Chain A
Amino acid sequence: MADVLLHAKGLCKSFGALQVCRNFDLSIESGELHALIGPNGAGKTTAMNLLTGLIAPDSGVLFLNGNDITKTSIHKRAQLGLARVFQVTSLFNDFSVQENLMLAVQAQQKTGARFWMNATRDRKLMASTDEYVERMGLTERATVLAGNLSHGERRQLEMGMALATKPAMLLLDEPMAGLGPGGTLKLCELIEGLKGEVTILLVEHDTHAVFALADRISVLVQGEVIATDAPQQIKQNILVQEAYLGGS
């Protein structure tokens, strides 16, 4: 068995009387593309927020690379290699495409504290930034403000920013949401190209994309993981069919 990179054990979270996550168990192996699926309201986004630290669990533990990160702050987790792509695109709208990526590269190169040199004269920073601009296919849009990009381009940029921090683990929160067929295809190719380079946890509604891309799939129903297996086995799993696939 390969090394476990991210391991969640018994994470629980309630908002008032509503228990959104109960005994959330998940272990993601190094290098795999692991998908998390589940019907609406199953607690997928809450689970993501627990993993990135935007909200704190009521109980349970979380390990990254064997280190307990349950109580680690958001920015420390990011420094440890946990990068997230948001469901609702979250960019710096008044910054251009290039400036957005610069910031992510800065985070990776740990140069945020430099306060005298103009950042655009930092060759190492700019070279690395341009590389990601190109890789995300945004070269022609480099100087456009993020707020003026199309939905698909925003997704691409978001992905680029997560990648530019050179994460050990990439959390993709519904990257296909709201994309047209063309955009979905483009993004699928992009994710396919990342397989092997970085460990990915993909939370996605689009089951076609999930079954095509994932190495393993976990199914979340009412805040609980009811099955984790390879795509074919998940398709045949009776429990899963009842809870999720049966409805669609």
Chain B
Amino acid sequence: MFNRKTILNGIGLLFFLLLPPFTQIFGQEYLLSLFSRILIYGLAAASLDLIIGYGGMVSLGHAVFMGIGGYSVGILAFHSYESSSILSWPFVLGGTENAFLAWPFAILVAGIFGLITGAICLRTKGMHFIMITLAFAQMAYYFFVSLTKFGGSDGLSLYNRNTLPTLDLGSDVTFYYLCLAILVIFLIIAHRLVGSHFGRVVSACRENEQRVQVLGFASYRYKLVCYTFSAATAGLAGALLINQSEFISPGLMHWTKSGELMVMVLLGGMGTLTGPVLGAATLLLMEDFLAMYTEHWMIILGPFLIIVVLFAKRGLYGLLTETGGTNG
């Protein structure tokens, strides 16, 4: 029962598990923060894949959910340093640095934003859907740019990472393993979701939504649930990202960031879930590596992306796992 996918996923997991000891042996600790970012962007890209690759909802505003998740954590921490409350009416909401409170809060806020904007966006299709998700993302971007209390366009810094009762998140190794655990849990959940009754209806919407309705499914609700789940996950990725870099700025929400997430999905392989993690790794590593030689690293990345998209239907992941000649 070992097919190529299982083997590749196993190798990937083993690589990520063994990475921290090796970086310490070879004294390359900076790699750890790069790979933490890869895991976090991998989580965001995989959540985007859920709506693009399975639901057929091509969104150009996914980074906004990361931004909202990140700012949720940032603003809670900011008020915690100031010992002031965010809300005094109708209930008192104080700041916190506790990850147990801040991260679910980030997921909740991103999820609600996804639910509200999704409810509007999903009334459109195709190009209109792309444009309206982009519009919402840019609205959020300019909102945070103008929010001078929280740094405006300069962004917001954390003095330290969030705290957890037993884990020391300040340690890069601990934080790295936590990101890895969250990513793996998400991939398992998403994998179950995609193969379930629910997942099949969502995939069928990508193929032919009207037909799904004629069968008797309220396709809109299925897509909205999927979209909201994806948004909430991206919110968690944002919460992790602000903890990783201890900084957030509205730039994270800019549409070019959403574009980057989409590139990760395309590069890694649409509709594969683990592919986008590979895509995130490829993109961030290329960026890191090529930037050492030239600031115009995009010149190399661009043609590379075109070649992958043209010749590999399911991206790099598809190239590595498909034996070719089979369908389905």
State the A residues within 8 Å of B (CB).
52, 54, 73-75, 78-79, 83-84, 86, 90-96, 99, 102-104, 106-108, 111-120, 122, 125, 143, 145, 148, 161, 165
Contacts and interface: CB of A to CB of B under 8 A. Distances in A.
Nearest to A85: B214
B328 A93 contact: no
Residue among A84, A111, A112 with max Cβ neighbours from chain B (10 Å):
A112
A68 B165 CA distance: 60
Closest 7 CB pairs of A and B: A78-B216, A115-B198, A114-B197, A107-B215, A92-B207, A74-B213, A107-B216
B204 A95 contact: yes
A90 B211 contact: yes
Interface stretch (B113-121, B217-225, B285-293, B301-309): B217-225
B215 A78 contact: yes
A119 B214 contact: no
Nearest to A84: B214
Contacts of B219: 75
Interface in B195-251: 195-201, 203-204, 207-208, 210-219, 222
Interface residues of B, number: 26
B128 interface: no
A115 B196 contact: yes
Given A91-B211, A92-B207, A113 B328 contact: no
Contacts of B193: 115-116
A52 B213 CA distance: 10
Contact of A94 (B201, B207, B214, B217): B207
A118 B196 contact: yes
A90 B208 contact: yes
Most B Cβ at <10 Å: residue of A52, A74, A93, A148: A74
Nearest to B222: A112
B327 interface: yes
A161 B196 contact: no
B5 interface: no
A78 B102 CA distance: 44
A96 B203 CA distance: 13
Contacts of A106: 197, 200-201
Contacts of B328: 94, 96, 143, 145
B192 A90 contact: no
Given A54-B210, A93-B207, A145-B328, A115 B215 contact: no
A79 B216 contact: yes
A165 to B, nearest CB: 6
Nearest to A108: B216
A116 B215 contact: no
B197 A111 contact: yes
B204 A103 contact: yes
Contacts of B201: 103, 106, 112
Contacts of B215: 75, 78, 103-104, 107, 161, 165
B196 A119 contact: yes
12 contacts: A52-B214, A73-B218, A90-B210, A90-B211, A94-B328, A95-B203, A107-B216, A114-B196, A115-B196, A115-B198, A117-B192, A118-B196
Contacts of A118: 192, 195-196
A92 B204 contact: yes
Contacts of A74: 210, 213-214
Contact of A115 (B199, B210, B216, B218): B199
Nearest to B192: A116
A116 B196 contact: yes
B264 to A, nearest CB: 23
Nearest to A104: B215
B85 to A, nearest CB: 37
A102 B195 contact: no
Nearest to A167: B216
A114 B214 contact: no
Interface string B114-150: 0000000000000000000000000000000000000
Contacts of A145: 327-328
Nearest to A161: B215
A117 B204 contact: no
Interface string B174-203: 000000000000000000110111111101
Contact of A102 (B192, B200, B214, B222): B200
A116 B204 CA distance: 17
A96 B211 CA distance: 16
Contacts of B214: 52, 74-75, 78, 83-84, 90
Kindly name the residue among B213, B214, B328 whose own CB sees the greatest number of chain A CB atoms within 10 A: B214
Contacts of B203: 95
B204 A115 contact: no
Given A92-B208, A92-B211, A95-B207, A113 B197 contact: yes
Nearest to A119: B197
Given A118-B192, A118-B195, A75 B207 contact: no
